Amino acid sequence: MLKIQYLGILTKSKKKQKWSTDVILDLMEERRKIKGKNVFKYKELDNAIKEKCREKKETWWSKQCDKIEKEFYKNPSVARTKVKEI
The structural domains of the chain, with segments of one domain joined by +, span 17-85
Q: Give the global pTM.
A: 0.68
Task: Determine what percent of the chain is predicted with pLDDT higher than 70.
Answer: 85
Confidence category of residue 31, pLDDT binned at 50, 70, 90: very high
Look at residue 23 and tell me whether its pLDDT is greater than 70.
Answer: yes
Q: Give dist(CA 59, CA 37) in Å, integer.
A: 34
Q: Stretch 60-77: mean pLDDT, rounded?
A: 85
pLDDT of 54: 95
Please give the backbone phi and psi of residue 4, each rounded to the nearest 5 degrees, phi first: -90, 125
